Amino acid sequence: MSRLLLAAATVIGLASALPAAAQFQKPEDAVKYRKAAYTVMSTHFGRIGAMVQGKVPYDGAAAAANAAIVAQMSVLPFAGFVEGTSGTEKGQPKPIVWTERAKFDAAAKKMQDEVAKLAVAAKANNPDTLKAAFGEAASACKACHDHFRNP
Ligand code: ASC
């Protein structure tokens, strides 16, 4: 490896090892980032939901494409949960995200696992398989919202 490449790799390695807060200039940037990731997730999850609920016709290829995006996006929001970004307004994370961090991380992991399963299930191209996996994923989203997000 060239010296320059090695230096670049070292910098990138260090940056990804920094605590979450240090990856954003300001707390508001972290909030904006996590909201953006959730917006994309919700958009594509919602398209599957519309199919599962019979609001739009079943389309296996579209379901698989949407589920893949949801699964990819699901890894992103959590870097944006930096200290000092809780609140009491509707939709804001409660302070218990930070005081019950292990529980929050477990809820995040559960959601990531369920949307990964959804992405696999969608590839089976079977409406019932899709519906079952969608329900599990939606429950994992809801469990976290119910406990950690202001209503
Ligand atoms: C969605 C969406 C969520 C979840 C959640 C499931 O479509 O945007 O956050 O489903 O409402 O209960």
| pLDDT digits 0-9 by tens, 59-101 | 999 999 999 999 999 999 999 999 999 999 999 999 999 999 9
Q: Answer whether 104's CB lies under 8 Å from 149's CB.
A: no
Name the residue of 35, 38, 40, 42 to mutate for ligand 1: max ligand atoms within 8 A of Cβ. 42
Rounded to the nearest angstrom, the distance between the alpha carbon of 137 and the centre of ligand 1 is: 9
Entry pTM:
0.87
Atom of ligand 1 nearest to the CA of 45: 7
The CA angle 57-72-65, to the nearest 5 degrees, is 25
Atom of ligand 1 nearest to the CA of 142: 12
Average of per-residue pLDDT across 125-150 = 98
Average of per-residue pLDDT across 19-45 = 92
The DSSP line for 86-114 is --SSTTSBPTHHHHTHHHHHHHHHHHHHH
Name the residue of 141, 144, 145, 150 to mutate for ligand 1: max ligand atoms within 8 A of Cβ. 141
